[in-house]
Amino acid sequence: MPAHDAVRASPGETGSDGDAGVAVVIEGLDKSFGQVRALKNLNARIHYGRLTGLVGPDGAGKTTLMRILTGLLVPSAGRVTLAGLDVVRDNDAIHVASGYMPQRFGLYEDLSVMENMRLYAQLRGLDATGNAELFAELLDFTRLAPFTGRLAGRLSGGMKQKLGLACALMARPRVLLLDEPGVGVDPVSRQDLWRMVQALTDEGMAVVWSTAYLDEAERCESVLLLNQGRLLFDGPPQELTAQLEGRSFRLEDVGAERRTVLSKALDLPSVSDGVIQGAGVRVVLRADAGMEPVESLARQAGVTLSRVPARFEDAFIDLLGGGPGGTSTLAERMPPVELDSDIAVSCRELTKRFGAFTATDRVTFEVRKGEIFGLLGPNGAGKSTTFKMLCGLLKPTSGEAHVVGHDLRRATGAAKGRLGYMAQKFSLYGLLSVQQNLEFSAGVYGLESGTRRERIAEMIETFDLGDWLSATPDSLPLGHRQRLALACALMHRPPMLSLDEPTSGVDPITRREFWTHINGLARKGVTIMVTTHFMDEAEYCDRVAMLSRARLIALDTPDALKHATASLERPDPTMEDAFIRLVESADRELEAST
């Protein structure tokens, strides 16, 4: 679809009078890298005093556009002005008028919070010693004042993002550009980021928030939706959501069969998208599709079909042509998992201390065979530490853990051979190609030559890696990097899979692809433990363990946790509402006891 045919909620402003209040003007913007055309004839306006979301799947051109707006890339064609300045001709001035927080903020982890801020002030040409008032204001705004002496490398993910925001605001910019600031940030910290950004737009600043999280996009006043370098929608998110009116439904109380029902629903030609919501299954019908196929599915499952309000995420997936199907070819090839016990994982009083710091404090739970078990909690709650102990990568200080029949105190090596582990930070070998990483993983797990070739070919086909075999992992788009990491974790067909934030930062369509595989593997009896900051993903879990300040604070089904946190103000809370309420309640109880 050409850019001038983009779905548009309101006509764009033109002319000198129409440009009042316009912070950024994009006219006929193109950007090519060799034969790859990353942006194609973009036309848009971004306004002061407004939060504008920039959304789209991997490779849509979001980061390229951000870098052009901040003057780091030169357009191949077209023109962009920011705060009245041409991003090419007035490049030096652009860096004063704009603040930019890149996707991977370049903090110096061996410097403290204050040292990072002083360094950044010097890089912006500010007097690092004569701006105590500015520093105090930024520290108060970001709530980092108590942590000025802490090394950046020891900050939680949310605190790192706040420090990045403080540095981006150092020169008091008129336009703030945030490239996926919510990635890897828990819901409580994300609320803080929203509070800060709202205060900035209230003061008249133009803020652009690039995101892969569509609940974030839905909270923006305006959205630019890109796909393959083209602008598909420009306007308030509610305008796009309204086009899905009457096409969103939920199969209620499906219960234990929800993964099977979801798979069947996604394979219906009439269904554009579908996700699990607790004990139910939410589906979106294609335009002009009849109701009979999904009504028939509801009758087969013996459940009620209810109409539900459309979400921006429904409209986003539908506009891009719908999500992936419901069948995992990877899971279909796997034989059913057999274990000697119905309990795949058990830990009792599991504790890990690093010196005087307790990362995990007497955590106890069990995970059943074939269960999808979620570990949730704020940044620094102890989720990854718990994961690493259960994968044999960290030795507990005290307590005990059994995984797929092995006592981790005595048989760590044997347990590792039956686990698949996908780390929070991408951990493949950057000096090896995609093909070499696949071959290395197959060798590590001791696959024989015939099986090795078969599995590698299977992973290349399943995860669409064929065009990237000679590339290094760092050069891949994020979605393909995560696919490669999952492929390596599954190479030996383990009966247990541990996924530490597997979809952090990937787009919603890739996220659905991952969960199609995860659901399919669970149906084959694979036990799956997953951490996530994306609360809609927690809905896929059979049960969720909530951690806060190293302790287990709740353990139940997603629906039960939501029900337990319902109130008069929020009678039907979301999983994010439940997360925030549980963490805040646990914090109050801890403070009252100390």
The string of pLDDT tens digits covering residues 468-496 is 999 998 888 888 888 999 999 999 999 99
pLDDT at 421 exceeding the cut of 80:
yes
pLDDT of residue 130: 66
Tokens of 67: 């870098």
C-alpha dihedral sign at 327, 331, 333, 335:
negative
Model confidence, pTM: 0.87
Q: Cβ distance 87 to 81 under 8 Å?
A: yes
Q: Cβ distance 2 to 314 under 8 Å?
A: no
72: confidence class by pLDDT, cuts 50, 70, 90: very high
pLDDT of residue 517: 95
The string of pLDDT tens digits covering residues 536-590 is 889 999 999 999 999 999 999 999 999 999 988 888 899 999 999 999 898 888 7
User: Mean pLDDT over residues 140-147, rounded?
Assistant: 86
| Cα radius of gyration (the chain) | 24
pLDDT at 210 exceeding the cut of 60:
yes
The phi and psi torsions of 461 (rounded to 5 degrees) equal: -70, -45
Tokens of 418: 């039956």
What span, in angstroms and rounded, lies between the C-alpha atoms of 209 and 194?
10
pLDDT of residue 84: 95
The string of pLDDT tens digits covering residues 492-527 is 999 999 998 888 878 888 899 999 999 999 999 999
Distances (CA, A) of 37 to 46, 76, 234, 366: 23, 9, 21, 50
Residue of 499, 570, 573, 563 lying closest to 537 (CA atoms): 499
Higher pLDDT, 366 or 172: 366
* The one-letter amino acid at 471: A
Provide, rounded to the nearest whole percent, the portion of the chain with pLDDT above 90: 59
The string of pLDDT tens digits covering residues 213-267 is 888 899 999 999 999 999 999 999 999 999 999 999 999 999 989 999 999 999 9
Neighbour tally for 137: CB within 10 Å: 14
* The one-letter amino acid at 380: G
pLDDT of residue 1: 33
